[in-house]
Amino acid sequence: MNASYGIKSWLLTKDHKRIGLLYLATITLFFFLGGAFATLIRIELLTPQGDLVSSETYNKLFTMHGVVMIFFFLIPSIPATLGNFFLPMMIGARDLAFPKLNLLSWYLLVIGGLFALFAMLAGGVDTGWTFYTPYSTSYSNTWVIATAIGIFVAGFSSILTGLNFIITVHTMRAPGMTWFRMPLFVWAHYATSLIQVLGTPVLAVTIVLVFCERYFHIGIFDPALGGDPVLFQHLFWFYSHPAVYIMILPAMGVISELVSTFARKPVFGYGFVAFSSLAIAVLGFLVWGHHLFVSTQSVYAGLIFSFLSYFVAIPSAIKVFNWTATLYKGSISYATPMLYAFGFIGLFTIGGLTGLFVASLGIDVHVTDTYFVIAHFHYIMVGGAIMAYLGGMHYWWPKMTGRMYPEGWAKLSALVIFLGFNLTFFPQFILGYLGMPRRYHVYPPEFQVLHVLSTAGASVLAVGYVIPMVYFVWSLRYGAIAPANPWGASGLEWKTASPPPKHNFEETPIVTHGAYDYSHVIGEEVEVG
Amino acid sequence: MTGHVDSVKTYALVFAALICLTILTTGVAFIDLGPFSVVVALVIAVCKMLLVALFFMHVRYSTKLTKLVVSGGLLWLGILVLFTLADVVSRGWVGVPGR
Amino acid sequence: MANHAQAETLALREQFDTAEQQKDASTLGMWIFLITEVMFFGGMFLAYTVYRSKYPVTFAVASTSLNVYIGAFNTVVLLCSSFTMVLAVRAAQLGKRRAIVLFLILTLILGFMFLGIKAFEWNEKFQEHHIPGMANFHLEGVPIEQQGQAQLFFSLYFAMTGLHALHMVIGAGIVSCLAWWAHKGKYTAEYMTPVDVGGLYWHFVDIIWIFLFPLLYLIDRHLGKWVS
Amino acid sequence: MAPQVDHLLYYLLAVATFFTLLIFVAIFYFAIRYRRRSEKELPHAVHTGMALEIVWSVIPFGLTMIMFTWGADLYFRGSRPPDNALQIYVVGKQWMWKLQHMEGRREINELHVPLGRPVKLTMTSEDVIHSFFVPDFRMKQDVVPGRYSTLWFQPTKAGKYHLFCAEYCGTNHSRMIGWIYVMEPQDYQTWVSGGSGGGSLADAGGKLFESLACANCHHPDGSGRCPTLVGLFGRNVLLSTGHVVKADEAYIRESILQPNAKVVAGYQPIMPTFQGLVTEEGVVQLIEYVRSLNPKPVGAEGSGQMPALTPGVVPGSQRPRVGTAGPAPKER
């Protein structure tokens, strides 16, 4: 992997591991950019009057926070970094099926990101990340088109990554690596890729239509010409609801790996967990209308969408129960990745259960577009996806870099993040039910106490995110040298050196047993990191 | 390696069928069929699509996986269209605007 | 045979073990890509369906203003290009180098013919003031307050035929490259996946037009006549 | 409605708390009980129990189906305003709420309603999408340009309640707020009959009807080139296409702005559009004028009481009608 050096060898690399690291650098940048926007939002909301920034600026802040976090951090986060790095290794392949396409995907994300950054530097965009028409097409005076192009281009990055993963899983598995011997991480990424491939093009065409409407003033969704703004919402959410699963499914894949490794037991109900990923991917496409319950969508359509939404609860519940059951009679280690996994299961449970609230028509009429929904999806996206991402980062950091991170600091930051997160977002559930609408720059004074609590939590959370950033960078130079398999894990990626050689394995591995068979690992020498 | 090679005659027949269907659908458009004009036009279009996909794109001799991918794609398009139409068509059934 | 084996190794990329694996990956990759294209065009087909069901009469009048004969002729041109394309793929399967080049060039010519006719049609729209978003937009036979709905039809018409034409241009680029490499003798009966995969793309673009033609030009012509 | 929504919330909270505690306790217990005691430790694999998987899929699913049915029931009831509801028109624009009472009183960002009586809001927007949100009533409905949407509630306690815009609508979205005042019925009567005294909505509509010269074609006795409007409101109308629509607010609005979209059977599409000539508020006044042309049902009295929607035969009307067809599909 470190065969050659120099910027050119990185920018023209076709090695999936290096591309994964390029993604890692890119999305880390975007994460802290989005985090900076979030910080400003939380500081602004300390007081009800809106005295830090103007309303225009505030609206731009939450829009850019959403755009950056969703399209440039969460969507590529786990698949494009950890997935890129480990999916081929886990199935015993030398690389993805289309290495050049993989590099192209990274460039597309960067180009899309540059468009978005340009829009931000030029003055920002204020439509909300949802770009609802006719506000986005006819009324906003901000940089909608540049942002839209950025998202369009980044969308193709996502499509091509998904395509690459699907083909890789189908055609590149090592001898003996049957479908039901694949790690659940791979299953989860396969399901994610299906969503990326089937959903993202619809977002792309929606953006094209919004672009045409705004630039050429032709009215596809313009009510003045007889267009239907709710049609935009259908097209938008056809992608953007499944997009939530693009973010959370890979996280679930990571958690399956962590729970198994640190309980040193196969995941309970492997088949159920594997198929629940596919079920979530499929069902995720049938429920988008639950974002439209008060949009003037038909009552009957609302009924169907609400009903189907509850079906997503089943595979999600199956996963949570099976992870918990995996702990039963295990050998549970308290290594940092496992702490993140515990955090994930707890927070995802709360996020998932509050999802039942918003799927219920009667409750959703009240809580939609309030802080309740904000809290709900942050429990899934931050409490779920980011916890899993950090857990995965700690788990695979030794493999990616060949260095160990400092365990004490890592445990501390995991705790700080868990506490800070709950303090930030739990009050928002209450705020929402009390009626605090989202995207409000100024708000009635009775909501201030809860907002202050939330901001206090956000500061704790921010500290929690900076600590790993510091010690990860520190460990690159000063961390202990990592052995090949510091955790006693069973995946193929641990059967090669840390960091892995250019073609991953000295010779193509031949798989003879299912994933999570620890008798082969522990029977040999257990190395302790 | 080369897979199944169809004869030129097969391709020519398929091509002739496609041309005939094009002429047919154009001709039928000039006859007033009322609401069935949509049905006829779309049925002919689907036939043409099947001819192109099965013969020109070799789906007929492809693996099960390819067939699954093709039908899956069409199914997803169906989901997008049908669920949205479910809303558009049933708006106003309650008799109260916007509900 | 040695020659073939050499060609095979040359064409085999390092991440694959066998040529078979590489061919499967490429073919499946193109199919998955085509599915994304189905969903991409699907969004516009959906918008078209919704608006057509909302404004059937205006859409019928607008549809009647398009020239059916040109549309039908263009459909035939595109079908011919698909026919020559499939013959090119067949020639590649049989390893006939000159035939591949010949059929690919024929495909290219037919493709450009389609685009030329399309450009002629668009130009007509400009002269007839059927360009949505322009101040002078006017469609005869539609009352003033429904001109907006007529604009919707033409917005979708241009979006759909425009993106289709863009795909044709990309397809023409692919076919040109294939023809050049075929001329250089890069493809043999053992290694012809790029031609096969390029053919899939070309046929897919043809299928999109197979649906665009009836939807835009043909359906409900009588409803339109009856009103105007 | 609010207490019923809260009851559903309590059920949801109970289910959520139970499962959250279940998972938290299980994780803590297992994590401590089965902590790793030696690095060489190798626990035995526990095999999947099919029965267990089915149990923990089916039981939560059953609980969610209760949530679904309960929530759907509330939603359906919330979507059908009772016939005797007090009619109020709402127009949202960047960044204010404009409200009009039947008696002609207009308000901005304030809404006065009587206690104990169902109130039906018919809402539209002049620009972007807004959303009418009253947290204390647990009610919210998007307000969409180009169409009417409906929201209804029945205040049960006098007082002052927040009104928010809940759909992001631009710069001053967070200042598009106001208050709803629930008043004792007699206070409301005094309040609504006071004010500017510009006459009722229907009166204003009548004046507009005259100034736009609508009466040149729409004769009360149906002798004009256009159908009479007497007794139209709330009835089912046969169109030239053979379809039947109910003449509600949305239909009348469309017929003013898009007269050729739904032409009454037996008439020519000769009416010009009034798009750009009439504001959304003007449209509302015209609708109320048309409604006021309906004969008052027996038992209706008082200015606060508006005529109920009574389909039926109206003497003097020569318009074709279909009396028995149910609510027919409409475009919007």
pLDDT digit string, tens, across residues D114-157: 999 999 999 999 999 999 999 999 999 999 998 899 999 999 99
Which chains pack against C, by 3+ Cβ pairs within 8 A? A, B, D
CB nearest B90 (choices: A202, A228, A301): A301
pLDDT band at A327; cut points 50, 70, 90: very high
DSSP A435-486: T-BSS-SS--GGGHHHHHHHHHHHHHHHHHHHHHHHHHHHHHHHSPBP-S-T
Task: Output the pLDDT for position D312.
Answer: 32
B98 neighbourhood in chain D, CB within 8 Å: 123, 141-142, 144, 147-150, 332
Q: What is the pLDDT of residues B47-88, one digit of tens each?
A: 999 999 999 999 998 889 999 999 999 999 999 999 999 998
- Dig out the tokens for C66 from the structure: 């398009």
Lowest-pLDDT range of C90-104, D96-110, D214-228: D214-228
Find the residue in B nearest to C47 (Cα).
B81
Find the residue in D nearest to C223 (Cα).
D241
The total of structural domains in chain A comes to 1
A292 neighbourhood in chain B, CB within 8 Å: 87
A25 CB neighbour count, 10 Å cutoff: 10
D311 has a chain C CB within 8 A of its CB: no
Q: Does residue A316 fall inside a structural domain?
A: yes
Does domain D201-292 match CATH 1.10.760.10? yes
Structural domain boundaries in chain D: 86-193, 201-292
Find the residue in D nearest to C58 (Cα).
D261
Cβ-defined contact of B99 to D248 (cutoff 8 Å):
no
B77 has a chain C CB within 8 A of its CB: yes
Cβ-defined contact of D259 to C144 (cutoff 8 Å):
no
Question: In chain A, what percentage of residues exceed pLDDT 90?
Answer: 88
Cβ-defined contact of D257 to C146 (cutoff 8 Å):
no
Return the residue in C12, C16, C145, C152 with the most chain A beta carbons within 10 A, the one to mutate for interface testing.
C152
Q: What is the pLDDT of residues A215-247, one digit of tens each?
A: 988 888 998 888 999 999 999 999 999 999 999
Task: Collect all residues with Cβ–Cβ distance below 8 Å to D101 and sequence separation of at least 6.
Answer: D88, D107, D112, D192, D201
Cβ-defined contact of C20 to B1 (cutoff 8 Å):
yes
C206 neighbourhood in chain B, CB within 8 Å: 52
Contact assessment for residue A304 and residue A210, using Cβ atoms and an 8 Å cutoff: no
Rounded to 5 degrees, what angle do the CA atoms D178, D184, D187 make? Answer: 85
More confident call, D319 vs D120: D120
Does domain D86-193 match CATH 2.60.40.420? yes
D329 neighbourhood in chain B, CB within 8 Å: 89-90, 92-93
- Could you give the dihedral angle defined by the CA atoms of residues D179, D185, D187 and D193, in that order, rounded to the nearest 10 degrees? 90
Contact assessment for residue A509 and residue A495, using Cβ atoms and an 8 Å cutoff: yes
B22 has a chain A CB within 8 A of its CB: no
| DSSP class of D215 | G
CB nearest C132 (choices: A172, A218, A234): A218
Q: What is the pLDDT of residues A72-112, one digit of tens each?
A: 999 999 999 999 999 999 999 999 999 999 999 999 999 99
Q: Does residue A2 fall inside a structural domain?
A: no
Question: In chain D, what percentage of residues exceed pLDDT 90?
Answer: 43
Find the residue in B nearest to D75 (Cα).
B99
Task: Output the pLDDT for position B3.
Answer: 67
The strands making up D149-153's β-sheet, listed across from edge to edge, are: D106-108, D96-101, D86-93, D119-125, D149-153
Cβ-defined contact of A234 to B98 (cutoff 8 Å):
no
Which chains pack against A, by 3+ Cβ pairs within 8 A? B, C, D
Cβ-defined contact of D145 to A441 (cutoff 8 Å):
no
What residue type is assigned to position C88 of the chain? A
**What's the predicted TM-score (pTM) here?**
0.90
Return the residue in D258, D270, D330, D331 with the most chain C beta carbons within 10 A, the one to mutate for interface testing.
D258
A298 neighbourhood in chain B, CB within 8 Å: 86-93, 99
DSSP A249-283: HHHHHHHHHHHHHHHTSPPTTHHHHHHHHHHHHHH
Q: Provide φ and ψ at A527, rounded to 5°.
A: -95, 135
ipTM: 0.91
Q: In terms of DSSP H, where are the helices of D121-230?
A: 185-193, 201-211
Find the residue in D nearest to B99 (Cα).
D79
CB nearest D249 (choices: B89, B91, B97): B97
Q: What residues of C are in the D interface, CB distance below 8 Å? A: 54, 143-146
Residue numbers of A between 359 and 378 with CB closer than 8 Å to D: 359-366, 368-370
Rounded to whole angstroms, the maximal C-alpha distance in chain A is 73
Q: What is the pLDDT of residues D162-190, one digit of tens each?
A: 999 999 999 999 999 999 999 999 999 88
- Dig out the tokens for C127 from the structure: 């002269």
Residues D110, D99: Cα–Cα separation, whole Å: 8
Q: Does residue A10 fall inside a structural domain?
A: no
Cβ-defined contact of D246 to B95 (cutoff 8 Å):
yes
CATH of the domain at A284: 1.20.210.10
Structural domain boundaries in chain C: 26-227
Question: How many helices (H) and strands (E) would you count in chain A?
Answer: 18, 0
D331 has a chain C CB within 8 A of its CB: yes
Cβ-defined contact of A324 to D30 (cutoff 8 Å):
yes
Identify the three-state secondary structure at position A526: coil
Cβ-defined contact of D144 to A333 (cutoff 8 Å):
no
Closest among C111, C64, C66, C80 to C224, alpha carbons compared: C64
A313 has a chain D CB within 8 A of its CB: yes
D73 has a chain A CB within 8 A of its CB: yes
Give yes or no for residue B89 having a pLDDT over 90. Answer: no
Distance from CA of B35 to the nearest CA of C (A): 8
Cβ-defined contact of A170 to B94 (cutoff 8 Å):
no
Identify the three-state secondary structure at position A126: coil
Q: Does residue A341 fall inside a structural domain?
A: yes
A228 neighbourhood in chain C, CB within 8 Å: 50-51, 54
A209 neighbourhood in chain C, CB within 8 Å: 43-44, 47, 159
Task: Output the pLDDT for position A467.
Answer: 96
Cβ-defined contact of D147 to B93 (cutoff 8 Å):
no
- Would you give per-residue pLDDT tens digits along chain C (228 residues)? 344 444 445 567 778 888 888 888 999 999 999 999 999 999 999 999 999 998 988 898 999 899 999 999 999 999 999 999 999 999 999 999 999 999 999 999 999 999 999 999 999 998 988 888 888 888 888 888 888 899 999 999 999 999 999 999 999 999 999 999 999 989 988 889 999 999 999 999 999 999 999 999 998 777 755 544
B88 neighbourhood in chain A, CB within 8 Å: 228, 231, 298
CB nearest B69 (choices: C31, C80, C222): C31
Q: What residues of A are in the C interface, CB distance below 8 Å? A: 93-99, 159, 163, 166-167, 170-172, 197-202, 204-206, 208-209, 212-213, 216-220, 222, 224-228, 231, 234-235, 508
What is the enclosing helix (H) or strand (E) of A3? none
Architecture of domain C26-227: Up-down Bundle (1.20)
Which chains pack against D, by 3+ Cβ pairs within 8 A? A, B, C
Task: Output the pLDDT for position D1.
Answer: 65
Question: In chain C, what percentage of residues exceed pLDDT 90?
Answer: 66
- Dig out the tokens for A458 from the structure: 């956000």
Cβ-defined contact of B3 to C190 (cutoff 8 Å):
no
A102-128 in b/e form (b: 16+ CB < 10 A) is bbbbbebbbbbbebbbebbeeebbbbb
Distance from CA of A113 to the nearest CA of D (A): 24
C54-73 in b/e form (b: 16+ CB < 10 A) is bbbbbbbbbbbbbebeebbb
